[in-house]
Amino acid sequence: MSLFDDDFYSTRVSRRIRSTGRDASFSKRGIGIRWTPVRVAVASSMVSALAAVLVFGLFTGFDRSEGSVSAVAGVTNVGLSNDPLEKTISAAAKMRPAVVSIINEQAQPESDGNDSAGTDGGDGSPELQQAALGSGFIFEKVKGKAHIITNNHVIEDAVAVKAVLSNGETRNARVVGTDAITDLAVLEIDADGIDAVAEFGESEGLRAGQWVMAIGNPLGLSDSLTMGIVSKTKRIIPVSLSQDGNYDWEQEVIQIDASINQGNSGGPLIDLDGNVVGINSMKIAEYGVEGVGFAIPSHIAMPIVQSLLEYGKVKRPYLGVYTMDLGLYMAQQAAAAQGHGDDDGSAGGADQEQSTEEGSQSGDGAAVGGEDEGVMMPQGDLKLPDDVKQGVIVLQAVGPAEEAGLAFNDVIVKLDNVSISSTMELRKYLYGKKTIGDEIEVTFYRDGKKQTTTFKLAEKTEE
């Protein structure tokens, strides 16, 4: 995209010259200079040189002093210098002091013998070792504390968390709050000596093709920069929250082609003004795939961050069911029937037992599904009408759902007259359309009969 209007490049002939049919030759009258061919050539050379200087000055800027230049048609403003080539340097210099490396420390595993290798031999506390590396950035200082944004998966299962500042200093960090759904976390460190704080840009104003930069700690190489473009401003990708291969959430992200490697997670994605427009979160790491990275848009991340600062968690409505997608269950049943149709059914039972880990998802998104040993798998004939092929099977009802009468083997097909075909849709409807304390109508099948029940959504409490 040009920094200039198209008319700057116009080759149109002046209307005044075009309208006269007279000879445009020089007049000798009143001028004591004879325009010989040599003098004409010299004058033409001087005019050409002057024109070249003028054009070069318009492109590069005559004034090289510090200042700010507003670009045309939404192009990022130039800070500190009028030279567009300096934009990446000034943007990186603005952001880098606020970027930190995150160290996730966990207890060492026990040795093969009876003696525990997880103690330090002093006070009996477990000896910690580095389990994961990631990135983060300081976004505010409040009452002597500096707050850091990073990814939840960067600090997951950590016994202790440390933040390494841009000057190499390591400080202990306290986890303020985490949210597995959006993969965000907020940390807190002592703010003494910290001056740099990140500024946020307008992620909603990003455009495909816009230049962006990723800063972080890839592969342990702290203070590392990569650059690329926005491949797509809004990409919806499925996410498996329990990492079991079943997608139970969808995340809106910015797709970029800037290199994102292990350790970049949690670091800032910045525009050429040095403002944060996203939090680097993930990449496609399959063989033969290059330049497909993703960042959480800042306008989506900040409400989550504010909730983590205020409550230590994100308050969401709670239905209270552990579920399994009906489509997944029916596919498993069909595969079992086809592969073991002549058997006595014991193999089919084994398949169902195995699917406890595969299909027991995180309920309505508020319950911790799949990890509770008390969650059972669907049993027997669900007795559904032939036209019912999508919905979610209740594996266990707790809290509000249990109080409302929902039970094992019920098949939920609608919430407030909105069809629900999967756990992902159930969770998206709850989090996107409902709030804590709202009433919800649940339509479900039990023993082949359609029923409805209405109750209030509660707030999820820690288990």
* Rounded Cα gap, residues 169 and 175, in angstroms: 19
Determine whether 147 is an active site residue.
no
* Rounded Cα gap, residues 306 and 231, in angstroms: 28
Distance of CA 368 to the CA centre of its chain: 23
* Rounded Cα gap, residues 168 and 171, in angstroms: 10
- Which one, of 313, 315, 368, lies nearest residue 186 by Cα? 313
Q: ∠ at Cα 416 (410, 420), nearest 5°?
A: 55
- Which one, of 249, 281, 389, lies nearest residue 327 by Cα? 389
300, containing H or E segment = helix 298-311
| Contact in structure between 324 and 189 (CB atoms under 8 Å) | no
Phi, psi of 317 (to 5 degrees): -65, 150
Radius of gyration in angstroms for the set of CA atoms belonging to the chain, rounded to a whole number: 32
For the chain, count helices (H), then strands (E): 9, 22
Considering the candidates 153, 166, 248, 298, report the single residue annotated as catalytic: 153
- Which one, of 408, 405, 411, 407, lies nearest residue 388 by Cα? 411
Considering the candidates 147, 179, 183, 248, report the single residue annotated as catalytic: 183
Helices 346-359 and 326-339: crossing angle, nearest 10°? 150
| Contact in structure between 225 and 215 (CB atoms under 8 Å) | yes
Considering the candidates 81, 101, 242, 265, report the single residue annotated as catalytic: 265
* Cross-strand bridge partners of residue 396: 322
Q: Reduced to 3 DSSP states, what percent helix, strand and coil does the chain have, rounded to the nearest 5?
A: 25, 30, 45
Enter the tokens of residue 27.
């007049």
| Contact in structure between 421 and 448 (CB atoms under 8 Å) | no
Determine whether 183 is an active site residue.
yes
* List of residues 6+ apart from 108 with CB closer than 8 A: 117, 118, 126, 127, 128, 129
Determine whether 83 is an active site residue.
no
DSSP 8-state class, residue 96: G
* Cross-strand bridge partners of residue 446: 449
Catalytic residues: 153, 183, 265
